[in-house]
Amino acid sequence: MTRILLLCFTLVFCAANSALAHFGMLIPSAGSIADKKDASLTLTLSFSHPMEMVGMPLAAPASFKVFVDGAAEDLLPTLKPAKVMEHEAWSAAYAVKKPGVYQFVMEPKPYWEPAEDCFIVHYTKTVVPAFGEEEGWDAPLGLKTEIVPLTRPFGNYAGNVFQGQVLLDGKPVPGAMVEVEFYNRDGRHEAPNDYMITQVVKADEGGVFTYGVPFAGWWGFAALNTADEKMNHEGKPKDVELGAVLWTEFLEPVRK
């Protein structure tokens, strides 16, 4: 009987975890660069449930680039294996040498999620400004799907309102559902109940969503849509969840 109860508990626990929101993650060692000491960035790429700190394996990405001044640089060869939340992840070193707004983007290989009976592809973006430059943070990158920030995606205080526009194939997505989660890296925060783990906002008819960030840290916004094309899994066509993910940091003021 004890073994049966333990098995039931395990199944319930796993089911609960599988129902958590998925987030592609691309977190830099610094959210902005004002000093040369921060110019040697470490970028960590992973896949997880960030609020509950439950990791999932991230295979070697299909693409990893940085966009600056309208040009793209391939960073895929710089990736090295890493571990995040005890699962396969990746890291890369990148030296920022001049002022600019650096948009880092990861496109992962499709991830099969049995609990949702679909593949997941999260186009994940993080914007890092350097040495006082801040032009171009609102420029779309032409990704399959992306969140174009309408609020500057850096230099924000906790408590600020954040806005973004969801694009799919370059066009706004009316009524897009956007999931929002906090990267609970140090485990200091605990959701009062399961509904509080993932926040959800709905975009307007122009694909624009608004969210008030309650406390400091890294916050992820994931706009989810289903691709028109299906992918094969064990001989059967399956849906593909396309996620437009944007990570941005919110800070508390320095107290004297």
d(CA 60, CA 73): 18
Query: Is residue 232 a part of any domain in this protein?
Result: yes
Query: Is residue 121 a part of any domain in this protein?
Result: yes
For 179, other C-beta atoms within 10 Å of its C-beta total 20
pTM recorded for the entire structure: 0.90
Q: Tokens 């509950």 map to which residue?
A: 52
- Whether the Cβ atoms of residue 243 and residue 223 lie closer than 8 Å to each other: yes
How many folded domains does the chain comprise?
1
Query: Is residue 256 a part of any domain in this protein?
Result: no
Is residue 220 scored above 80 in pLDDT? yes
Is residue 12 scored above 60 in pLDDT? no
d(CA 218, CA 184): 8
Dihedral angle sign, alpha carbons of residues 107, 110, 167, 24: negative
Average pLDDT over the chain reads: 92
Phi, psi (rounded to 5 degrees) for 113 = -115, 100
Query: Is residue 221 a part of any domain in this protein?
Result: yes
Helix (H) / strand (E) containing 10 = helix 2-18
Q: How much is the average pLDDT of 127-132? A: 97
Give me the domain span that covers residue 160: 2-251
d(CA 106, CA 24): 8
Whose CA is closest to 200, among 224, 179, 173, 176? 179
